[in-house]
Amino acid sequence: MLLRAQTEIWENEFLSEFASHSSRSQGRKVKEEPCSLRTEFQKDRDRIIHSLYFRLLKNKTQVYLSTTGERFRTRLSHTIEVSTVGRYIARALGLNTDLVEAIALGHDLGHTPFGHVGEETLEKLTPFKFKHSDQSLRVVEILENKGEGLNLTSEVKNGIVAHTKGTNSIFTITSENQGASRRVHTVEGEVVQFADWIAYINHDVDDAFNMGFITAADLPKSTYDILGHNFQERFVTMVSDVIISSKGQPHIRMSKKIMEATDELRRFLYDCVYELPQIAKKEEEAREIVKYLYGYYIENYDKVLGFMPYLKGVESARGVADFIASLTDNKAQDIYGSLKGNESDN
């Protein structure tokens, strides 16, 4: 018997009634022959891991503007943490860990350089609503593999495009998921939404500690008492609560007490950390770089096509956004410095 078939039989026998089974996937845009070794979701996970856009994440900002990754997280380490949290939750609930991993590893492929500052700047500049989740879908459908895309399954693509919460509370997302028009179509996609939320809240607090921006005394007392006194305690509290609260349920959830404390910690980050002057100064520099590059390449779209010839025929604003979003922080800074240097020489 093929190894893939053995895995599919195992899924059918042991996964939860709410889980997504790889043998029942809604499939791909372009039909492919099944692999003898891997299930459909395992193939997707591997394609993402081996993609160019996945490798680029190691030099893209998460929150704190630096790409060294020596003292705080980059977009790649964030992605790995989301995958790890998602895997813990999915395994405990009998869900499809391969699907969770594929969604988690691909959820930020379309993120811009300079984190959410780059995303927000592009959104203001473009005539369309630029969102990194939509861009991540565009990466796997069109941009990756030199314009061929990755031809992922419908379930993985849905999880990628539906993962984001922006500045919204997980309360909002939970209500949407349990409504008739929920955006995410699988329980595994819901797992990634919570995993992303848990991961970034915990590691952004941890990075702020490591950078000396805040101390334990700055944290809201209620979150400190309820969630725990350090990174590990908060992590275990949040993940354990999701597992306990979601056991035997058709949707992923948190208890009201833990969710309220976690959301208070999220608000603390937005109100007291992300707006710190030492962060804001670097963010302004990043905004200037993105604005300058956008204006330059709109006027010189042929240069974008030199990098991405498969965008020929794509409207210039769309193509320029695709190009800028593909840049690492370092590459964006290098191009900006080179173009500004050429200006001063003329």
Could you report the per-residue pLDDT of 245-297, keeping only the tens digit for each? 999 999 999 999 999 999 999 999 999 888 887 777 888 999 999 999 999 99
Question: Among the residues of 228-276, which ranges form H helices?
Answer: 231-246, 256-268
Instruction: Give how far the C-alpha of residue 185 lies from the chain's centroid of Cα atoms, to the nearest Å.
Output: 17
Q: Residue 169 contacts by C-beta under 8 Å, 6 or more apart in sequence?
A: 263, 266
Residue with tokens 């042991």: 14
The pLDDT assigned to 12 comes to 96
Residue ranges covered by each domain of the chain: 3-10+35-340
Q: Which of 26-30, 46-50, 66-70, 88-92 has the weakest average pLDDT? A: 66-70
Q: What is the dihedral of CA 34, 47, 27, 36, to 10 degrees?
A: 10
Residue with tokens 């991540």: 136
DSSP string, 318-344: HHHHHHHHH--HHHHHHHHHHHHHHHH
Q: Is the pLDDT of residue 71 over 90?
A: no
% of the chain surpassing 90 pLDDT:
78
Q: Is the pLDDT of residue 178 over 70?
A: no
Distances 195 to 78, 82, 187, 190 between C-alpha atoms, Å: 11, 5, 12, 9
CATH topology for the 3-10+35-340 domain: Hypothetical protein af1432 (1.10.3210)
